[in-house]
DNA sequence: AAAAAAACAGACAGACTTGTCTGTTTAGTA
DNA sequence: TACTAAACAGACAAGTCTGTCTGTTTTTTT
C-alpha cells in the first residue's frame, strides 16, 4: 500500500522542467533521464505526456492554496489578509526561481482546444478571485467602489504586478502595488 | 527596388501561426506550406526560425505603437488618453481573435537565455509604461499617490485586466478596470 | 535578347519527438 | 521459499523538427 517514490520523482522532475524550460521544450526522455527512472515505468504511471501536465497543474494548485492558506491563517483582519496575499507573492520571489504563475505559463503554451488544461487554469484563477472577494466583503469598504469592482481591481493589481515582476526579474512591482493598495483601502 | 511580396507572406503567415498556435508548435514546414513559398526562399530571407521570431516581435511592436498613437491622437486631455488606452485594448477583442499580448505569450515560450527575444519584450513593456507615466505627469493627480506610484498602478491594472480577459475570453475585465480607474482619478 | 537575381520543388541529413514493446531484474508479500 | 507486482534497460516505430543542398524555372534588369 505504500506510495511508490517513483511516482513522486516523475512528478517532481516533470514539474521542475515544465516550469523552468517550458512544457513543449521538455521531452519525455529528459524527464526519465533526470528522474532516473525507466520509460516503461513512466508510462505505467501516466498514459501520456498530457496526463503528466494535468498532474503537475493539480499538484501545483493544491500546494499553492495550501501554502497560501497557512500564510494567511495567522493574519488578523480582512485588509491585512489582502496585504498578506501580496506579501505571499513577494515571498515567492525569494525562495526558488520564480518566473511567473505556472498556470499563465502553461496557458501560453497549450492551445485552447485542450479543454482539460484550460479548465484547471480557469479554476485556479477563480479560486484566487474568490479569496479576494471574500476579504473585500468582510472588510469596511470605504473605497467608493462596489465590493465586486474593488475585488476585481485588487485582483488585476496582483496579476499585473506579478506579470511585471517576472519581466523585470524583481519583486519591486509587487511591492509598489502593495504600497498603493494600502493607501487605497 | 520593389519589395518582394514573398517576404511579406512569410512574415504574415508566421505571425498568424506564432500568435494563434504558439511559437514552438509552429514548424518551418507549416509556414512555407501556408505561405505557399519554397523552403529555400524562406531561408534566403531569414537565416533561422529565431530570426523570423524577432521580425515578428519587431513588426508587431511597431504596428501596435502606431495604431495606439493614431487612436490616442484625437483624444484630448491626459486622463482621457489613459481611458483611451484601456478602450484601445477593449477594441482589440472585437477585431480579430485576441488571445493576449503577443509579447507575454512569447515570453512564456522562450527561455531567458534568448536575450534578443527578451530585450524586445522588455522594451515593448517599457514603452507602454512610459506612455502611461507621461499622461500621469501631465494630468492633475489628486489620487493621493505619487506620480510614479499611480503610473505603476494604472499599468498593473491594464496588464492584469488584459490577462484576466484572455482567461475569461471576454473584455469584461478590461471594462471593469476602466470603470474603476475612472472613479480613482 | 542576354545576364543576373529570385523563387521554385523537393530530396536529404541528423537529431529529436511520443509512445510501444520485449525481456530482465529487483522488491514486497503470502 | 514461491509468487506477484513493480521497476529496470533499451530497442524500435513512425513521425516530427530545423536547416542544407541540388537543380530547375520564373522574373527582373541591363
Tell me: do A79 and A102 sit in the same domain: yes
First vs last C-alpha separation in chain B = 51
Tell me: do A113 and A164 sit in the same domain: yes
Tell me: do B73 and B150 sit in the same domain: yes
CATH of the domain at A17: 1.10.10.60
Tell me: do B23 and B40 sit in the same domain: yes
State pTM to two decimals.
0.94
Residue with minimal CA–C1' distance to C22 is: A40
* Among candidates B109, B159, B180 on the partner chain, residue whose Cβ is nearest the Cβ of A160: B159
Q: Could you tell me the three cell numbers for B183?
A: 472613479
Tell me: do B99 and B11 sit in the same domain: no
Tell me: do A106 and A145 sit in the same domain: yes
pLDDT digits (tens, 9 = 90+) for B9-57: 999 999 999 999 999 999 999 999 999 999 999 999 999 999 999 999 9
Mean pLDDT by 10 residues, chain A (185 residues): 74 96 96 96 96 98 97 97 98 87 95 95 98 98 96 98 94 98 96
Tell me: do B41 and B63 sit in the same domain: no
Residue A42 domain boundaries: 1-47
CATH of the domain at A179: 1.10.357.10
In chain A, residues with a C-beta closer than 8 Å to the C-beta of B125 are: 164, 167
Tell me: do B7 and B95 sit in the same domain: no
Helices B147-168 and B78-94, axial angle in degrees (round to 10): 10
* Among candidates A145, A167, A179 on the partner chain, residue whose Cβ is nearest the Cβ of B183: A145
In chain A, the number of structural domains is: 2
Q: Is the CB of A3 under 7 A from strand C?
A: no
Tell me: do A43 and A94 sit in the same domain: no
CB A53 within 8 A of CB A119: no
Tell me: do A86 and A10 sit in the same domain: no
Tell me: do B157 and B86 sit in the same domain: yes
Taking the CA of residue B157 and the nearest CA in chain A, the distance in Å comes to 5
Amino acid at each position: 500500500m505504500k506510495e511508490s517514490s517513483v511516482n513522486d520523482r516523475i512528478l517532481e522532475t516533470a514539474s521542475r522542467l515544465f516550469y523552468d524550460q517550458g512544457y513543449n521544450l521538455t521531452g519525455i526522455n529528459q524527464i526519465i533521464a533526470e528522474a532516473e527512472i525507466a520509460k516503461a515505468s513512466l508510462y505505467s504511471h501516466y498514459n501520456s505526456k498530457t496526463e503528466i501536465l494535468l498532474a503537475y497543474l493539480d499538484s501545483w494548485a493544491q500546494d499553492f492554496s495550501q501554502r497560501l492558506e497557512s500564510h494567511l491563517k495567522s493574519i488578523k483582519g480582512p485588509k491585512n489578509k489582502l496585504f498578506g496575499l501580496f506579501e505571499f507573492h513577494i515571498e515567492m520571489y525569494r525562495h526558488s526561481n520564480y518566473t511567473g504563475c505556472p498556470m499563465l505559463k502553461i496557458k501560453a503554451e497549450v492551445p485552447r482546444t485542450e479543454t482539460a488544461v484550460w479548465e484547471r487554469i480557469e479554476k485556479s484563477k477563480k479560486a484566487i478571485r474568490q479569496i479576494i472577494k471574500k476579504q473585500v466583503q468582510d472588510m469596511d469598504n470605504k473605497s467608493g467602489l462596489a465590493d465586486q469592482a474593488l475585488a476585481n481591481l485588487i485582483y488585476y493589481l496582483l496579476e499585473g504586478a506579478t506579470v511585471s515582476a517576472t519581466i523585470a526579474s524583481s519583486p519591486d512591482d509587487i511591492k509598489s502595488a502593495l504600497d498603493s493598495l494600502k493607501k487605497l483601502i
